[in-house]
Amino acid sequence: MGIYCEDSKDIYIIVPLRDAKSYPSRPYVDLLLPIGRFAGECYFWIYTEAKHPIIEFWNERLLPRKVADEDGRRWLFMGKKVLKLDLASPPILRFYDLTDPASDICLVTSNKSFIPHGGFADVERQILGYNRESPGMSQIIPNVATVGRPMNFRLIFTAGAALIRRGGRIRLTIPEGLL
Protein backbone atom coordinates (compact mmCIF):
# COMPACT_ATOMS: atom_id res chain seq x y z
CA MET A 1 0.00 0.00 0.00
CA GLY A 2 1.33 3.43 -0.93
CA ILE A 3 1.52 6.65 1.02
CA TYR A 4 0.19 10.02 -0.04
CA CYS A 5 1.45 12.75 2.28
CA GLU A 6 0.79 16.45 1.89
CA ASP A 7 2.13 19.09 4.24
CA SER A 8 1.89 22.86 3.97
CA LYS A 9 4.59 23.00 1.28
CA ASP A 10 5.06 19.66 -0.44
CA ILE A 11 3.50 16.39 -1.53
CA TYR A 12 5.11 12.96 -1.25
CA ILE A 13 3.70 9.91 -3.01
CA ILE A 14 5.57 6.69 -2.29
CA VAL A 15 4.30 3.39 -3.71
CA PRO A 16 5.86 -0.09 -3.71
CA LEU A 17 5.75 -1.45 -7.26
CA ARG A 18 4.47 -4.78 -5.93
CA ASP A 19 1.12 -2.90 -6.11
CA ALA A 20 1.60 -2.34 -9.86
CA LYS A 21 -0.28 -4.40 -12.46
CA SER A 22 1.72 -6.67 -14.74
CA TYR A 23 0.65 -8.39 -17.93
CA PRO A 24 2.14 -11.67 -19.24
CA SER A 25 2.67 -10.43 -22.80
CA ARG A 26 3.81 -6.89 -21.91
CA PRO A 27 7.35 -5.67 -21.03
CA TYR A 28 6.11 -3.21 -18.41
CA VAL A 29 4.10 -2.80 -15.21
CA ASP A 30 1.40 -0.14 -14.70
CA LEU A 31 0.80 1.84 -11.53
CA LEU A 32 -2.22 4.03 -10.85
CA LEU A 33 -0.80 6.87 -8.75
CA PRO A 34 -2.72 7.54 -5.51
CA ILE A 35 -3.14 11.32 -5.47
CA GLY A 36 -5.01 14.31 -4.17
CA ARG A 37 -5.20 17.65 -5.97
CA PHE A 38 -1.86 19.16 -6.89
CA ALA A 39 -0.42 21.48 -9.51
CA GLY A 40 3.30 22.16 -9.77
CA GLU A 41 6.70 20.69 -10.46
CA CYS A 42 7.26 17.09 -9.31
CA TYR A 43 10.44 15.05 -9.00
CA PHE A 44 10.43 11.33 -9.85
CA TRP A 45 12.57 8.71 -8.10
CA ILE A 46 12.72 4.91 -8.31
CA TYR A 47 14.35 2.47 -5.86
CA THR A 48 15.60 -0.43 -7.97
CA GLU A 49 18.43 -2.75 -8.99
CA ALA A 50 17.63 -2.20 -12.67
CA LYS A 51 20.43 -0.62 -14.71
CA HIS A 52 18.32 1.48 -17.08
CA PRO A 53 14.69 1.70 -15.91
CA ILE A 54 12.21 3.88 -17.78
CA ILE A 55 9.13 5.63 -16.41
CA GLU A 56 6.52 6.54 -19.01
CA PHE A 57 3.32 8.53 -18.63
CA TRP A 58 1.33 10.95 -20.75
CA ASN A 59 3.47 9.88 -23.76
CA GLU A 60 6.69 11.08 -22.13
CA ARG A 61 9.62 8.95 -20.97
CA LEU A 62 11.83 9.65 -17.97
CA LEU A 63 15.31 8.11 -17.90
CA PRO A 64 17.80 7.88 -14.99
CA ARG A 65 19.67 11.15 -14.43
CA LYS A 66 21.35 10.77 -11.03
CA VAL A 67 22.09 7.99 -8.53
CA ALA A 68 21.58 8.39 -4.78
CA ASP A 69 22.24 5.90 -1.99
CA GLU A 70 24.49 3.56 -4.01
CA ASP A 71 24.41 -0.13 -3.09
CA GLY A 72 22.90 -3.13 -4.94
CA ARG A 73 19.48 -1.49 -4.87
CA ARG A 74 19.63 2.28 -5.16
CA TRP A 75 17.54 5.39 -5.61
CA LEU A 76 17.62 6.79 -9.15
CA PHE A 77 16.45 10.31 -9.88
CA MET A 78 14.39 10.01 -13.07
CA GLY A 79 13.65 13.67 -13.77
CA LYS A 80 11.06 16.34 -13.14
CA LYS A 81 7.80 17.30 -14.75
CA VAL A 82 5.16 19.95 -14.16
CA LEU A 83 1.96 18.14 -13.20
CA LYS A 84 -1.64 19.12 -12.74
CA LEU A 85 -3.21 16.30 -10.75
CA ASP A 86 -6.73 15.73 -9.50
CA LEU A 87 -8.81 12.85 -8.21
CA ALA A 88 -10.86 12.64 -11.42
CA SER A 89 -7.91 11.64 -13.61
CA PRO A 90 -5.04 10.09 -11.65
CA PRO A 91 -2.02 9.34 -13.85
CA ILE A 92 -0.97 5.83 -14.76
CA LEU A 93 2.79 5.40 -14.63
CA ARG A 94 4.32 2.68 -16.81
CA PHE A 95 7.66 1.16 -15.78
CA TYR A 96 9.98 -0.59 -18.26
CA ASP A 97 13.18 -2.63 -17.89
CA LEU A 98 12.82 -3.47 -14.20
CA THR A 99 14.61 -6.60 -12.97
CA ASP A 100 12.52 -7.13 -9.80
CA PRO A 101 9.42 -4.85 -9.76
CA ALA A 102 8.02 -6.55 -6.64
CA SER A 103 10.91 -5.08 -4.63
CA ASP A 104 11.07 -1.67 -6.33
CA ILE A 105 9.58 1.60 -5.05
CA CYS A 106 8.32 4.71 -6.85
CA LEU A 107 8.53 8.15 -5.23
CA VAL A 108 6.99 11.36 -6.59
CA THR A 109 7.55 14.57 -4.63
CA SER A 110 7.28 18.30 -5.09
CA ASN A 111 10.23 18.79 -2.70
CA LYS A 112 13.20 19.65 -4.93
CA SER A 113 15.76 19.14 -2.17
CA PHE A 114 14.42 15.77 -0.93
CA ILE A 115 16.86 12.88 -1.53
CA PRO A 116 15.53 9.46 -0.45
CA HIS A 117 17.73 6.98 1.44
CA GLY A 118 17.11 3.31 2.25
CA GLY A 119 14.00 1.21 1.73
CA PHE A 120 10.30 1.93 2.19
CA ALA A 121 10.34 2.19 6.01
CA ASP A 122 13.42 4.46 5.90
CA VAL A 123 11.80 6.85 3.42
CA GLU A 124 8.58 6.85 5.48
CA ARG A 125 10.71 7.96 8.44
CA GLN A 126 12.34 10.69 6.34
CA ILE A 127 8.96 12.03 5.23
CA LEU A 128 6.73 11.49 8.28
CA GLY A 129 9.23 11.20 11.12
CA TYR A 130 8.12 7.60 11.73
CA ASN A 131 7.33 4.47 9.70
CA ARG A 132 3.94 2.78 9.48
CA GLU A 133 4.62 0.31 12.32
CA SER A 134 5.74 2.97 14.84
CA PRO A 135 2.42 4.75 15.61
CA GLY A 136 0.66 1.53 16.55
CA MET A 137 -1.46 -1.31 15.26
CA SER A 138 -5.12 -1.54 14.32
CA GLN A 139 -7.24 -4.67 14.43
CA ILE A 140 -10.72 -5.34 13.13
CA ILE A 141 -12.76 -7.99 14.95
CA PRO A 142 -14.12 -10.31 13.71
CA ASN A 143 -11.74 -10.70 10.79
CA VAL A 144 -13.98 -13.28 9.07
CA ALA A 145 -17.60 -12.73 8.04
CA THR A 146 -20.26 -14.48 5.97
CA VAL A 147 -20.94 -12.67 2.70
CA GLY A 148 -24.42 -11.18 2.53
CA ARG A 149 -25.03 -11.33 6.28
CA PRO A 150 -25.01 -8.08 8.32
CA MET A 151 -22.13 -7.90 10.76
CA ASN A 152 -20.98 -5.53 13.49
CA PHE A 153 -17.24 -4.93 13.63
CA ARG A 154 -15.06 -3.57 16.39
CA LEU A 155 -11.91 -1.61 15.58
CA ILE A 156 -9.13 -1.68 18.15
CA PHE A 157 -6.14 0.65 17.89
CA THR A 158 -3.13 -0.03 20.10
CA ALA A 159 -0.79 2.97 20.30
CA GLY A 160 2.87 2.40 19.48
CA ALA A 161 6.09 4.14 20.49
CA ALA A 162 5.65 7.08 18.10
CA LEU A 163 2.71 9.40 18.49
CA ILE A 164 0.53 10.26 15.51
CA ARG A 165 1.03 13.95 14.85
CA ARG A 166 -1.89 16.39 15.01
CA GLY A 167 -4.05 16.01 11.92
CA GLY A 168 -2.70 12.51 11.29
CA ARG A 169 -5.09 9.77 10.23
CA ILE A 170 -5.50 6.06 10.72
CA ARG A 171 -6.41 4.30 7.48
CA LEU A 172 -8.96 1.52 7.86
CA THR A 173 -8.67 -1.07 5.13
CA ILE A 174 -11.46 -3.61 4.69
CA PRO A 175 -10.86 -6.64 2.44
CA GLU A 176 -13.01 -6.56 -0.72
CA GLY A 177 -14.70 -9.80 0.27
CA LEU A 178 -16.29 -8.07 3.26
CA LEU A 179 -17.79 -5.21 1.22
Give, for all 179 residues of the chain, the pLDDT tens digit: 566 777 768 889 999 999 899 889 999 999 988 777 888 999 999 999 999 999 998 889 999 998 886 667 899 999 999 988 887 778 899 999 999 999 999 999 999 999 999 998 899 888 887 777 777 777 888 878 788 888 888 888 888 877 777 777 766 666 665 56
Pick left, alpha or beta for residue 132 (phi over 0 → left; psi -120 to 50 → alpha; otherwise beta).
alpha
Asked if residue 29 lies in contact with residue 22, where contact means CB atoms within 8 angstroms, the answer is yes
Q: What is the pLDDT of residue 89?
A: 79
Q: Cα(106)–Cα(113) distance, rounded to whole angstroms?
A: 17
Q: Where are the domains of the chain?
A: 3-128, 133-179
* CATH of range 3-128; options 3.90.870, 1.10.3470, 2.60.120, 4.10.260: 2.60.120
Predicted confidence at residue 96, as pLDDT, reads 96
> Model-level pTM?
0.75
